[in-house]
Amino acid sequence: MRAHVQAIWLGVVRLNLGSSLAEILDVAGDEPTLELLPHVTAALADSRARERARKIARAALGEVIHDVAGPGGDPDDWLRRVLDALPASVDRACDRWRGLYRSALEQSKRQSRIVRDASRDPRDRDSARRLREEAEAQLRLLLEVGQSLHSDFYTYRYLASEGFLPGYSFPRLPLAAFTPAAAAAAATSS
């Protein structure tokens, strides 16, 4: 039910989340903060939009809201709590992506240092090149989603898989694992 209320809020604020989380998180520079971008935090801080979303959600959910609020619970209070928690909810929903991004970025940097170290054994440098390419393929998966609704990291699909949004039109929510062989095959076939 929370995800539905959050989707209503998103419709009220008309916040375009883009096709990649890179459009809502700060990925700039060598050491990106991965914090929510200012336009996202501004939308999250809009108390008038939260109040409009509360009214719309209250009307849309009808009597079902009483079941969610629990016996003797106040549906409007439950809705306010859900909507007031939006900044933390969005931030938490981005955490897995942040972890994947940080891990791939660090792997790329670590392997680049080995590749540039002329004192290293050539086999170590070759291995480091392969590992760096895998890390860069992971970064491309996370960043260059494009307009594919089928990418596991398409923003709306990703947020549905994290429970922030409902999976309305996603027949299967992602269970993804990066497999270097599959990424290499995809890169050579394009």
Domain ranges of the chain: 2-189
Q: Mean pLDDT, the chain, as a whole number?
A: 88
Task: Please choose, from the candidates 21, 28, 16, 20, the residue with its C-alpha nearest in 3D space to the C-alpha of residue 145.
Answer: 20
Angstrom distance (rounded) from CA 173 to CA 161: 6
pTM to 2 decimal places: 0.82
CA proximity to 131, closest of 143, 153, 113:
113
Number of Cβ within a 10 Å radius of residue 68: 16
Q: How far apart are the C-alpha atoms of 40 and 24, rounded to whole Å?
A: 6
**Percent of the chain whose predicted confidence (pLDDT) is above 90:** 71
Q: CA dist 174 to 75, 137, 150, 161, 167, Å?
A: 32, 18, 9, 6, 10
Task: Identify the H or E element spanning 130.
Answer: helix 122-143
CA distances from 19 to 109, 145, 171 (A): 26, 6, 18
Q: How many CB atoms lie within 10 A of CB 64?
A: 12
Which residue did the predictor score with more confidence, 144 or 110?
110
Q: What is the pLDDT of residues 65-100, one digit of tens each?
A: 888 878 888 889 999 999 999 999 999 999 999 999
Spatial neighbors of 70 by CB under 8 A, at least 6 apart, are: none
User: How far is Cα 154 from Cα 160, in angstroms, rounded to an integer?
Assistant: 10
Q: Which of 112, 93, 2, 110 lies closest to 40, judged by CA?
A: 93
pLDDT digits (tens, 9 = 90+) for 136-163: 999 999 998 665 556 789 899 899 999 9
